[in-house]
Amino acid sequence: MRMGDMLGSARFSITRDPAPAAQPVDHDAVLAAALDESQRSESQQAILFDAWRRSLDGHDEIDSAIEQAWSRWPDPLTSVLHLAERDGAKRRTTHLLERGEWDRPRETVEPNVPGALHPLEPSDEPMRLRFARWLVDRRSPLAARVETNRIWQSIFGAGLVETAEDFGTRAPVPAYRELLDRLAWDFMEQGWSRKGLIRTIVMSRTYRRSSVGDPRSLELDPSNRLLSRGPRFRADAEVVRDIAMSVSGLITHRLGGPSVIPPVPQNVLDYNYVYPSYWKPAEGAERYRRTVYGFRKRSMPDPATSVFDAPSADASCARRVRSNTPLAALTGLNETIFVEASRALALRVLREAGPSDEERIERAYRLCVSRSPNAKEREVLLELLSRSRARLADGWLDVRQVATGDPAKLPELPAGATPQDAAAWTIAARVLLNLDETMAKN
């Protein structure tokens, strides 16, 4: 290669050292120094400053002091994503796309609000803040209506506007639109207090009605859209799991901290595109933390909560659709956490109730459904216990396997109880935890 081809790219140094050594060159600093000060970015300014600092005598002491200062800075436990507005130089230009054709952008689109609603007030505040103030303006009660409807949905199982994700022209007109408007207005008047809104709803005569309906009302209004009865619906998937752990006494109420990996069937792990070798189910008290702390893998939804209609993490979900399938019953009877909860509930009943099965049935019903059993329910459960004890005595069922899940282990029993009692009551506890009344809000 000719020297002329390298013009501007060569560097020559002269030295009298008989064994010269090449000096490292900070090319980023050289490029930053070649720019005018007004053209340098913040990162290039920082690179240039670091290069200058390293050229000073004693920069090792400066570096050491800086490192000590950073070592005292607390490490964040989690990262936070925020929607900070970009400055003018970095703001992205948005174009109108005709029929979504991304490679044929049309005219530039500036931030604005629908012309049919009240205008966006001019201000020197950032655009996102201006939009936030516009959204909760008294002249536009949409935000108050949406939040009021969401809270009503969480309490009654369905919102006054059934399509909580759509308040547009395609949404069905609510049967009690005036009620929604009144609650939304009160919500704004009370300073957007969710606590005040919830108090208003739960103290109303509508909410305090019995959820038991007569045949005529069930025929005319099966979905209770006319609010002729109190709310009754199956709890959300996470709450169903928490109910089982709470009733059995297993639940851990520690707040905060990292997510907890729940147990899942082995075939769920095996069928992954890439096997998640990090998936080690939690042990001890951490295993029974509230489901909201459960670790979730987007490409591998938890089968236990998915059966109870928990949404995936692929998209946001404003309204869950509840289904009723045999898979839900099979999950409640056989999924790992529910089986462990059944064993714990059996031991809790044996520990807290009297020595007779009648007293234990009374205690178990109080724990699961907050009432005493009727004569028919008591009779059915006594028959189940009798049949279970007979099968255990005849060897059809392994006492240790049923009571602990380990053929070589016996549970720690309270005074006066036998391993057969623990196994028989584990079977009964599975039934009680899967009662529709246990999983439903009544």
Nearest to 380 by CA among 402, 364, 403: 364
pLDDT for the residue numbered 362: 95
What's the pLDDT at 1? 44
**Which amino acid is located at 76 in the chain?**
P
User: Cα–Cα–Cα angle for 436, 440, 442, nearest 5°?
Assistant: 115
Per the DSSP assignment, residues forming a β-bridge with 289 are 252
Mean pLDDT by 10 residues, the chain (442 residues): 54 76 75 81 85 78 84 75 73 86 87 87 86 89 93 93 87 89 94 95 94 89 90 92 94 90 88 86 92 88 89 84 89 92 95 92 94 94 94 89 87 88 94 93 87
Question: What is the amino acid identity at position 315?
Answer: A
pLDDT of residue 123: 86
Query: 22 in helix, strand or coil?
Result: coil
> For the whole prediction, is pTM greater than 0.85?
no
CA angle centred on 366, ends 435 and 209, rounded to 5°: 75
Domain residue ranges of the chain, discontinuous segments joined by +:
142-210, 250-328, 336-441
